[in-house]
Chain A
Amino acid sequence: MTAMKQQSTYTRGLHRGLGVGVGYFSVSFGFGAMAAAQGIRALDATLISATNLTSAGQFAGLTLIVAGTTLWELILTQLVINSRYALMSLALSQKMGRDIGLLPRLAIAFFNTDEIFALAIAEREKLTTPFMLGLGTMPILGWTGGTLCGALAGSVLPLGIRTALGVMLYGMFVAIVVPPAREEKPVLAVVVLALILSCLFAWMPGLKTVSAGIAIVICTVAAAGICAVLFPVPDEEVAA
């Protein structure tokens, strides 16, 4: 491939990832604000986003770090919450084929988030290294930049506004969960089950003493596991 062709393919990827980049900016703004509200410095919050690039995992990690956790609990929580990426990386790996070598894969794996994965899978043309690198650029910038802005805003704004901004992240989680739960019964079952378990861990004597990370891990594994037995996904759905 000539240098010019490579550049135009990179630009095409860049354009394709622009929307996700903007969306990430707003979500990570909430993460930054929440981190600042919990006493994490703006640059440290930005470092978390720049190195992790995952909303749910980072959020759980932040909660654990603030609460004072062990390293093992932190790692276990990340393993469970982010396990779905393994499936996405496998699928993306199939679609990329042999043309994309080991070195580019080291980079592409880093930014294989839910949304970038969806864009890459939906792409009609053959995936190339420049396209994939272009695709990842705006989301990475948006995610990291949004965190920095949110953390800076969160550390100067008055307490009332800070608390309100901190809730944004929960709002986004609700926005991710509710629409599919409304459409698909199995997802609704997962949500209700996780809800009940999570309340038990929060309020039941005995279970209350279980640390936050382990509670999330148990709720996730139990709810997803039970529903995987009761409502296995159809074969074609995961072939994506």
Chain B
Amino acid sequence: MNLYLCIAAMAVTTYLIRLLPMTLFRKPIRSRFVRSFLHYVPYACLTAMTFPAILNSTESVLSGLAALVTAVVLAFRGKSLITVALGSSCAVLLTEFFITHI
């Protein structure tokens, strides 16, 4: 599949989702189900995209697991977005260092 065709398809779809409710269909959504559904969508899709994919995103499952555990612990303690992200990166570096040198 042509890369630019893919990028265009993604961009147009995302733009229309944002544009149409701002221009053509401007009535508020009354259905409580639809509003609840849309409220929960980000959490569901971010979770599904992260796990178990994170385990296979690094050289070994161990370092992927280390990244996940570090991120969850840091996020649970309320650390900022960038701290959590860098923390999980460091966990990967350290784990892979130990795996290759020990």
In the complex the two chains form, is A86's CB within 8 Å of B38's CB? Answer: yes
Bound CA span A49–B59, Å: 26
Q: Which of A10-18, A121-129, A170-178 contacts B (4 or more CB under 8 A)?
A: A170-178
Q: Which residues of A contact B44 (CB under 8 A)?
A: 190-191, 193-194, 219-220, 223-224, 227
Question: Assuming A71-B6, A86-B21, is B50 touching A26 (CB within 8 A)?
Answer: no
> Is the Cβ of B36 less than 8 Å from the Cβ of A231?
yes
Between A and B, 19 residue pairs with Cβ closer than 8 Å are A44-B3, A47-B4, A48-B7, A52-B14, A57-B10, A60-B45, A74-B6, A75-B10, A85-B17, A86-B20, A93-B21, A93-B23, A105-B23, A110-B19, A177-B43, A179-B75, A195-B48, A199-B52, A224-B43
From A61, A93, A94, A163, contact of B92 by CB (8 A): A163
B residues sitting closer than 8 Å to A (CB atoms) are: 1, 3-11, 13-15, 17-23, 25-26, 28-29, 32-54, 57-59, 63-64, 67-68, 70-72, 74-76, 78-82, 84-93, 96
Of B15, B43, B49, which is within 8 A of A181 by CB? B43
Q: Please indicate which of the listed interface residues A80, A102, A170 has the most CB atoms of chain B within 10 Å of its own CB.
A: A170
A49 to chain B, nearest CB (A): 10
Decide: A78 and B3 in contact? CB cutoff 8 A. Answer: no
Number of chain A interface residues as a range: 35 or more
Interface residues of A (CB under 8 A from B): 23, 26-27, 30, 40, 44, 47-48, 51-54, 56-61, 63-65, 68-71, 74-75, 78-90, 92-94, 102, 105-106, 108-110, 112, 114, 160-161, 163-182, 186-187, 190-191, 193-195, 197-199, 202-203, 215-216, 219-220, 223-225, 227-229, 231-233, 235, 237-238
Check A174–B71 contact: CB distance below 8 A: yes
Q: Which residue of B lies closest to A41 (CB)?
A: B3
Q: B64 to chain A: which residues have CB within 8 Å? A: 167
Contact of A90 with B93 in the complex, beta carbons under 8 Å: no
Q: How far is the CB of A137 from chain B (nearest CB, A)?
A: 17
What B residues does A83 contact at CB under 8 A? 17, 38, 41
Bound-state Cα–Cα, A171 to B88, Å = 6
In the complex with contacts A168-B86, A232-B33, A238-B35, A92-B22 CB distance below 8 A? yes
Of A69, A160, A176, the residue contacting B93 (CB under 8 A) is A160
Across the interface, do B18 and A170 meet the contact criterion of CB distance under 8 Å? no
Closest Cβ of chain B to A90, distance in Å, is 4
Chain A residues in 8 Å Cβ range of B87: 171
Residue from A89, A167, A197 within 8 A of B48 (CB atoms): A197
When the two chains form their complex, are residues B59 and A224 in contact, meaning their CB atoms are under 8 A apart?
Answer: no
Known: A166-B57, A175-B71, A216-B49. 14 other contacts (CB 8 A): A48-B7, A64-B6, A68-B1, A82-B17, A83-B17, A84-B38, A164-B96, A167-B57, A168-B88, A174-B50, A179-B78, A224-B41, A232-B36, A237-B39
